[in-house]
Amino acid sequence: MAPALTLPDETHDSYTKAIPQKPVSQADVQEDYHGEYRFAPIEEAQVSRAMIKRYFNQMYDRAISDVVIVGAGSAGLSCAYSLATRRPDLKITILEANVAPGGGAWLGGQLMTPMVIRKPADNFLRELGVPYEDEGNFVVVKHAALFTSTLLSKVLSQPNVVMMNATAVEDLIIHADYAGNQRVAGVVTNWTLVSLNHDTQSCMDPNTITAPVVISATGHDGPMGAFSAKRLVSAGLLKELGNMRGLDMNRAEPAIVNGTREVVPGLILTGMELSEHDGSNRMGPTFGAMIGSGIKASWEATRILEN
Ligand code: AHZ
């Protein structure tokens, strides 16, 4: 008979307890590989339950979040890092439609690997510990993936951050107060694979996450891009999109950072989604504005929460 399963009642705090107190020595590692490498025994159901329990506990907990960030590209992740490290008391939930978080920040421009970041956004690289070459007014990271993977790992190691990828925001929750003023009060979610199949299956209803602040960072127009800005138009909260204008690096970057704001009560737009809302220029393959806008969005979020 199979031994009874023991499922310890772990909370997310136990993740931090798993960090080794002392580094594994080279001698320990070599010993494993010189003998017969043996794994501790496991039951298949333990693996299933280990994932299910944690994932659905997270969903249960984050049905009410303090801040929802939609989209884990360079703007969304910079925002999450700034907010999570400054305010460890906030429940920050990131929803990313793609299986792979990172958006367009895995490469520089035209599928080339180096990433250009204009000063003063290089401050953020020093904060993260990402090395770069200094070219005077801008810096170059040797591979965009080095920036994105470092940022992603630092965001995910914050105990107050939960990220659900392969999960799309399909709609916004919009409440009206007694005077009829509308306010974004959360998001409507579904597995992305479900969202992509609404035309092929009968109604597959979504799920919801409520939050006093939603930060949308879904990028410029594309298959799913500029999601919240477009929804504001179809929901009647915005007359029309400004539509992203042609490329001008010097105009575009300050416009995106300085324009980052709460566009309707409860909803902040950051990154290139804002260019679709405001009709500002694109900057192409230079990423300082995504960092600056993400950080500014995090300050906007705390301003709203503190009011
Ligand atoms: O998968 C999308 C991507 O990872 C995700 N996303 C989009 N719609 C979503 C939805 N629900 C959940 N409905 C969604 N997630 O949002 C992320 C957007 O990342 P991005 O890299 O496309 O946007 P960004 O604003 O962070 O960075 C833009 C980078 C660009 S484009 C550009 C130009 O062409 O001028 N310049 C820069 C710097």
Residues 294 and 75 sit within 8 Å (Cβ to Cβ): yes
Average pLDDT over residues 11-21: 58
* Cα 255 from Cα 20, distance rounded (Å): 45
Answer whether residue 9 shows pLDDT above 60.
Answer: no
Average pLDDT over residues 8-22: 56
- Looking at every residue in the chain, the average pLDDT score rounds to 92
Residues 161 and 80 sit within 8 Å (Cβ to Cβ): yes
Which residues sit with their C-beta closer than 6 Å to ligand 1?
Answer: 70-76, 95-98, 103-105, 168-169, 217-220, 224-225, 227, 271-272, 282-284, 287, 290
CB contact burial 79-106 (16+ within 10 A = b; e otherwise): bbbbbbeebeebebbbbbbbeebbbbbb
Average pLDDT over residues 78-88: 98
CA nearest to 217, candidates 187, 248, 240, 196: 187
CB contact burial 41-66 (16+ within 10 A = b; e otherwise): eeeeeeeeeeeeeeeeeebeebeebb
Atom of ligand 1 nearest to the CA of 252: 35
Average pLDDT over residues 236-245: 97
Residues 162 and 93 sit within 8 Å (Cβ to Cβ): yes
Residue nearest atom 5 of ligand 1, based on CA coordinates? 71
* pLDDT of amino acid 13: 52
Greater pLDDT, 43 or 20: 43
pLDDT (tens digit per residue) in 25-80: 766 665 567 778 888 899 999 999 999 999 999 999 999 999 999 999 999 999 99
Q: With H, G, I as helix, E, B as strand and everything else as coil, classify residue 63.
A: coil
CA of 250 to the centre of ligand 1 (A): 21
* pLDDT of amino acid 295: 98
Residues 280 and 263 sit within 8 Å (Cβ to Cβ): no
Answer whether residue 167 shows pLDDT above 80.
Answer: yes
pLDDT (tens digit per residue) in 277-304: 999 999 999 999 999 999 999 999 999 9
* pLDDT of amino acid 190: 97
* pLDDT of amino acid 294: 98
CA of 85 to the centre of ligand 1 (A): 22
Phi, psi angle pair for 18, to nearest 5°: -75, -10
Six-digit token string for 236: 């009647």
* Cα 282 from Cα 250, distance rounded (Å): 10
pLDDT (tens digit per residue) in 121-135: 999 999 999 999 999
Global confidence as pTM: 0.93
Q: Rg for the chain (alpha carbons), in Å?
A: 21
Phi, psi angle pair for 134, to nearest 5°: -90, 125
